[in-house]
Amino acid sequence: MTFANVGTLGVQPGRRDEVVEILTRPSSVLAENGCLSYEVGVSDEYPDTVFVSELWVSADAHAASLQLESVKESIAAAMPLLSGEFGGFRFDVVGSPLR
């Protein structure tokens, strides 16, 4: 079942664009491991937050991705730039009016 993970990452003041750069580095590994969509964004309203909205082929594929070497490297690179504030939610996709 398609799985959605959407979240907010608080960043240290002024470090937002560095975090965006890390998260948007081209990666074929993600698609190869079941990532269907991985959108990274920002909002003028919250300058110290990075947003992500992901779709995966399953919750298991998402969980397994956190153990991929390249993903662990990204997390390690971003971690010192984050404030420690995280938000968001996860859900199982059950449909779409577009399909």
Token readout for 91 is: 């859900």
What are the phi and psi torsion angles at 9 (to 5°)? Answer: -120, 115
Total residues at interface with a copy of itself (CB under 8 A): 36
Check: CB of residue 1 under 8 Å from CB of residue 92.
Answer: yes
Member of 13, 80, 84, 89 binding a copy of itself (CB under 8 A): 89
Binder of a copy of itself out of 55, 57, 61, 64 (CB under 8 A): 55
Closest CA to 2 of 91, 98, 76: 91
Q: In the 8-state DSSP scheme, what is residue 67?
A: T
For the bound state, the minimum distance from the C-beta of residue 47 to a copy of itself, rounded and expressed in Å, comes to 12
Least CB distance to a copy of itself at residue 96 (A): 5
Site string for a copy of itself, 19-38 (x = CB under 8 A): -x--xxxxx--xx---x-xx
Q: Based on CB atoms, which residue is closest to a copy of itself, 67 or 96?
A: 96
Two tokens at 33?
A: 């491991």
